Structure 1
């Protein structure tokens, strides 16, 4: 099978090789990667990986449509030959790591475990900051091992998923969390399953982007989401801006809704051996090793530049003073959900 990962990146060269090594070990066969406006050499690293035949790099330098940078990239991907030949496809970000719990921990094992599925939702498991302040050039998957509990009642972002789906023509467009524009003839034949192996209702085939609250969604697979990283890295993430909502600066609201550290989760280490083998092979290339080192140096220098500005210095200070987030009880979440539903009904009237 051709299993395609579609990735968009900007100024993330320090993390790129680990991400690629992990997902090669996890069984993805093809990588279509879009870059835009990189100052740290990410684009040059992607050029080198393209020369080596490991990925396909497309520069997404604009102009951008009303959907912004990421959706402009997806429109380019929809016309690309790699997507046309893919049997399965999935859109991902560089801070998201597919984590399969069945078989030999590969995507193929997950697909074989759910032979009737045409789409499989991999729910985020949010990995917190764990009090790590300084950025270091170490694998993300080995550095951050504190996560949200398997059962969360709030916030709804803790239940968001990304979709691995069969590229059989049922959907005409790519989306951040799920394929879009379903074919009205084919959609009735689609079958969606979640990371626990449960078949999902028809809403998931059409519009849903998050799993149900108050239950585990991870028995067969999950998506490790390292959205925060070290506090230094979060300051750089705020500087980079959001890929989708580029007009919204990252601040404490984003941090607090993701900084859960109550549970330890090392399950991704099941692929640490194959990942390390792939990573060592990539770093054995002198050009990739040089570019990786330059990206690391750029990150450290950029952080020091940003700390001279009051807004970023204030953000860093808030990160230092804010404690880890506390998961809400079922009753507290029910209280919030009650008003969320009332608000939705009011807007519909």
Structure 2
């Protein structure tokens, strides 16, 4: 059953946990004999809050247990298998159960070769990409070079809240966009490691989802503007979730050798605010790219003055397209 279901599951969730087959042996009977009846009981017993609350508590416990098992060591990121390959893997999987031994042995060999070649193509693409995420609140972007030589994520987005939420606004079980959008997309590309996580400055809508990135991905380096390590936002939002990730505070004078773009800003140590945002410039796929977080117009004009040779084909609008940034006079020159 695992051989047949494997390509279908990976095609949808992009990963396979080595404990998945074992867990399914126990989870499927529990789901059928406990979870489904609880859902029906909660639906038809809506007049009795104690029944609904009890059913929800058990279902949430079951979901939390599955989530806990999912983050245990052993999760293998494979990527999104194309539909044609998925179909072929299923067909050859069924062939493994034929009575003819010669068919079984050849089916196993073809199945393994097809899976291995597919994973290789997914994980070592010939082209790179610059992608911005539809993250809702804030900024988040991915830069990866051909063959996934380097994988860089610039900011993570994050929900900004004003004041305390009312009790009816608090969801008991909710996944952030960092997990459902960023991590999910990276896994679909077969990416399990981020070489550089760049946090351009300390605003919540740029670093709020960093904890999910650090939880579900292996992050080698975090780059942030010089002065951010002393800020409360770093101590609360980043520091508690660090594992073996190296943290670097950078300025224009601190270039990172394997970073696909050059650091053009900040120039000095600051408070990691908008005016201290990390600005990146370089060539990607033949296009000259500039992305500068929430850097204001004064900062952009300073960049133009310090680098008069700089020409830009693609600019990620500053401060979410706010009129306080992306000076039209500066970028028309």
When normalised by structure 1's length, the TM-score is: 0.25
Point out the structure with max Rg over C-alpha. Answer: 2
Higher normalized contact order (CA 8 Å, seq sep 6+, divided by chain length): 1
Which protein is richer in helix relative to its size? Answer: 2
